[in-house]
Amino acid sequence: MDGQSSFSPDASGVGSTADRRGPNRPKGDSRLPAHIMAAVRDTIRAAAATCVEPARLEASGPYEWLAIVEAHDGELSRLLRSYIESCRYLDELQHGGVDIGHARRADAVRDATFARDSIHRSLVKAIGVAD
């Protein structure tokens, strides 16, 4: 993601009365890696629950929850996007997706871990859930 892209192609059409099973239901960005989405699933769901009735989330998944957050709370959406991107970057560092030397990789992993944890603390505080 380039920082300008959104979780969904058209989040503006997602309203509080949108049918979660209808053709206009929120559709998330499937370009996000599945293992990253699995790792942050509970956090995304907690963020979406601050935006809509929790019952609306039952038949949805993390990509739809991202679109719900994006449609209802821009600031929370940006924080959530930063968290997901920090998780993805850390994963790339740890699994060799970024070509930097071995010594520099250890420093980068340490810094990326700190950044991810810091963003997560801010996100948890914003959505008001226990860590």
Q: What is the pLDDT of residues 40-87, one digit of tens each?
A: 999 999 999 999 988 889 888 888 999 999 999 999 999 999 999 999
Is residue 43 one of the residues assigned to a domain?
yes
How far apart are the C-alpha atoms of 122 and 36, rounded to whole Å? Answer: 19
Is residue 99 one of the residues assigned to a domain?
yes
The SS3 of residue 67 is helix
Is residue 54 one of the residues assigned to a domain?
yes
Q: How many domains does the chain have?
A: 1
Is residue 27 one of the residues assigned to a domain?
no
Is residue 93 one of the residues assigned to a domain?
yes
Q: What is the pTM of this model?
A: 0.72
Q: What is the pLDDT of residue 86?
A: 94
> What's phi and psi for 53, nearest 5 deg?
-60, 130
Is residue 14 one of the residues assigned to a domain?
no
Q: What is the pLDDT of residues 6-32, one digit of tens each?
A: 544 444 444 444 444 455 544 555 567
Is residue 95 one of the residues assigned to a domain?
yes
Domain that holds residue 119: 32-127
